[in-house]
Structure 1
Amino acid sequence: MGVIRTDDGVELFYRDWAAEEGRDEGEGRPILFVSSWSLTSDAWAYQMLPLSMQGCRCVAFDRRGHGRSAESPSGYGFDRLADDIAALLEALDLRGVTLVGHSMATGEILRYLTRHGAGRVAGVVMVGTITPLLARTADNPDGVDPAVFEAFRSEQLLRDFPKWLGDNVGPFLDERTSAEVKGWITGMALNSSLKALLDCHRAITSADFRRELPGIAVPTLVVHGDRDVTTPLDLARRTVALMPNATLSLYEDAPHGLFLTHRDRFNAELLAFVQR
């Protein structure tokens, strides 16, 4: 575990699990995991441990304003968050890395590639993607009415976020998930800055990645569940259609948090993608 300091003075917490116990740090194929809105690096434990035992170097960090990372003096826009990914990759000198992002993190990874290029990147895995565009606009009539997002922020996030978490952790996972795992997930979310959550949600629901996606040529695996009530499956299909080197992997009966509910399948598919 460690901390890096960004160019605007924010300390970002990260964990770095080298491949197999006893091997030198830095050996193995590197994977950088980026967590979703409100969650932290802890959420990837059930990927990082088994994959590090399979010879991968697994790295994850807490987004600014989340978990053990400091709050941001420079906002929470996707450009800023993408630059944090760049700072970590450069600080650890990760090359040939597979970038794995869930939900909000898919936008951060895409923006990283747009701003910094793919020189350090071997591939990308996007789970429950928010791309290409969530909000309804004149040229995106199937999107969500922006008033729905604003109502969530004003009536739920800023009034009783703990209750909203309790009401929605069930659909994020599934009926087979233990109460303890649900509590673990909600505990992570409650350990993040409410200011960061508000600003990040504004960024998520307004970002438009349609022009960026066609320029991303690195091999990309888009993983999505057909029971995802957070990001509809159509987003994944539209994302793959816009990218020149992307493949959709559809998980039947899987929710937004499929990396936990379907971890065995996901871990096997991720390892195969990294080792391809």
Structure 2
Amino acid sequence: MSFIDGKYIEVDSGVELFVQDVGEGEPLVFIPGFTFTTEVFSKQVEFFSKTNRVIVIDPRSHGRSTKSLHGNDYVTHGTDLAAILQALDVKNPTLLGWSFGCLTVWEYLKQNGAEQIKSIILVDMPPKSLSIKENDWVEGALDDIAAIYNSFLRNSKGQREFITSYITQVMIQRELAEEELAWLVEQSLKTPYYIAGNLFASGMFSDYRETAKIASQTVPSLTVVAEHWAEVAGNYLKQLTPESKVEVLGGHMMFWEHSEKFNEIVSNFLNKIE
């Protein structure tokens, strides 16, 4: 996947999103997670563009998209996604969100309904990030989340330290080569720390439980969760979205580390809803 494949689409006055649109067939739309970019889905683009129209988006203030001082929240990201689908004349897509990209998917559905959507694939994100209930699937303990926001996302050095730790401890299971880690950190740092802080707060205070419940009852849904919280996530989803198919694989970035297995899981899901 190269820059040549990409185009810029204006979604707001002075705000352009970088989008890659390759292949032909049923559309499959990828939305990356917190501060990450189109480039992390290169293995999915290579695989699925042989059979599908694959669209990958750098959300507002991510990657090559405009760094905007406004709209760095998931309500706006949902609106941006609708603008992209309309601009590209995308009909009946499958939406695949990873991490906070799931919030973009849910927000789109909240604003627009699921009538124009074929299916959804949600990669490793609870629909409500924080809870005081012991058995809820959440992003982390409230004090830990507060510490990230108050201690790390206040300058570039803190952002770099946070994302480096998160990559090595949560996202990837194996030991990364130095250049692999540097590349992954570089993708995240394309979003400035002062915008990353806004996005982090927006994501952590989101609550899409009702939207997730309705969506799973309306369109075919697949949720892929990481191994480290498979039990709590599985029990939680069984209660909230029992219609959604659940698969367990790898760490938080399993689509990158275990791309062949991940692509197989997604392919099997898509083939069953043809």
TM range (shorter): 0.7 to 0.9
RMSD: 2.0
Output the CA distance in 2 between the equivalents of 1:237 and 1:127.
16
CA 1:100–1:73: 2 relative to 1, 3 Å = same
- Unaligned ranges ≥5, structure 2: 1-5
CA 1:243–1:136: 2 relative to 1, 3 Å = closer
Q: Which residue number corresponds to residue 222 of structure 2? A: 221
- Unaligned ranges ≥5, structure 1: 19-26
Instruction: State the Cα deviation string for residues 209-249 of structure 1 (Å, max 9, x = none).
Output: 22222211210000012125xxx752454235322631111
The sequence identity of aligned pairs, in percent, is 23
Among candidates 248, 253, 261, match of residue 265 of structure 1: 261
| Residue identity in the other structure for 2:52 | C
CA 1:2–1:236: 2 relative to 1, 3 Å = farther
Matched, 1:161 2:159: yes
Among candidates 27, 44, 47, match of residue 44 of structure 2: 47
Output the CA distance in 2 between the equivalents of 1:209 and 1:136.
13
Instruction: State the Cα deviation string for residues 70-96 of structure 1 (Å, max 9, x = none).
Output: 123433222111011111111111112
Output the CA distance in 2 between the equivalents of 1:224 and 1:105.
14
Output the CA distance in 2 between the equivalents of 1:154 and 1:272.
42
| Residue identity in the other structure for 1:74 | H
What is the TM-score when the length of structure 2 is the normalising length?
A: 0.87
Matched, 1:60 2:56: yes
- SS of 2:161's equivalent in the other structure is helix
Q: 1:122, CA displacement in angstroms?
A: 0.8
What is the TM-score when the length of structure 1 is the normalising length?
A: 0.87
Q: 1:41, CA displacement in angstroms?
A: 0.7
After the TM superposition, which of the residue ranges 234-243 and 117-126 deviates more from structure 2? 234-243
Instruction: State the Cα deviation string for residues 63-119 of structure 1 (Å, max 9, x = none).
Output: 111111112343322211101111111111111211111110111101111111223
> How many equivalent pairs are there?
260
| Residue identity in the other structure for 1:247 | K
CA 1:233–1:89: 2 relative to 1, 3 Å = farther
- SS of 2:27's equivalent in the other structure is strand
| Residue identity in the other structure for 1:35 | P
Q: Which residue number corresponds to residue 110 of structure 2? A: 114
Residues 240 and 247 in structure 1, CA contact (< 8 A), matched pair in contact too: no
| Residue identity in the other structure for 1:190 | L
Among candidates 10, 13, 19, match of residue 15 of structure 2: 10
Give runs of aligned pairs for residues 97-112 of structure 1, distance below 5 A: 97-112=93-108
Residues 129 and 235 in structure 1, CA contact (< 8 A), matched pair in contact too: no
Q: 1:50, CA displacement in angstroms?
A: 1.2
Q: Which residue number corresponds to residue 85 of structure 1? A: 81
After the TM superposition, which of the residue ranges 201-210 and 65-74 deviates more from structure 2? 65-74
